[in-house]
Amino acid sequence: MSISETAPVSSGALWTGRVLSGLTILFMIFDGAIKLPPLDVVTQTMVPLGWPADPDMARLLGVIGLFATALYAWPRTSVLGAILLTAYMGGAIATKLRIDSPLFSHTLFGVYLGIILWGGLYLRDPKVRALIPFSR
C-alpha cells in the first residue's frame, strides 16, 4: 500500500491523535516557556542534573524545545518536529540515567512523552501510518 492508498482513519482516531498531539504541545510549551525568563527555580533545579545554574543555558534549552515543538505543531513539518523532540527527550533520558533518577517516574518520562507524541502523529497523519504499518 503506497502513501496515496492509505486507508482513511476514523474521526475518533483522528481526534484522539489531535488530543494526544495537543497535550504534547501544551506540555512542551510550558517546559520551554519556564526556561526563557531567568527563574531561579529553573536554574537551581538544573544543578542536581549536572547542568550549570546558568540562565543562558536554561534559555537555550527552552528555545530548542520550543523550536522543535513549533515544527511538530505545524502539519507540514510535524515529522521533523517529532524527530527533534525525540532527540530532545533522549537527552533528558540520558541526563536522568546519569544521575540515577527513579526509573518509572523520572527516567522513563521522556519515553512516555515520546510514545504520546508519536502516537498522536500516527493517528492524525496518513503518511506516518503508511511508513509505520501495523497489520491486523
- Which pLDDT tens digit goes with each residue over 54-74? 999 999 999 999 999 999 999
Question: What's the confidence (pLDDT) of residue 8?
Answer: 74
Residue 30 lies in a domain: yes
Distance CA 61, CA 6 (A): 37
Name the more confident of 74 and 10.
74
Total number of domains in the chain: 1
pTM of the full structure: 0.89
The per-residue pLDDT for 133 is 83
Q: Rounded to the nearest 5 degrees, what angle is found at the Cα of 85, between the Cα atoms of 34 and 28?
A: 25
> Does the residue 3 lie in any domain?
no
Q: Which domain covers residue 66, as residue numbers? A: 10-130
136 belongs to a structural domain = no
Q: If pLDDT is split at 50, 70 and 90, which confidence band does 96 have?
A: very high
In a domain, 58, yes or no: yes
Mean pLDDT, to the nearest integer, of 1-17? 76
Helices (H), 1-136: 11-33, 40-46, 55-73, 78-98, 109-124, 126-131
Task: Establish if 19 belongs to a structural domain.
Answer: yes
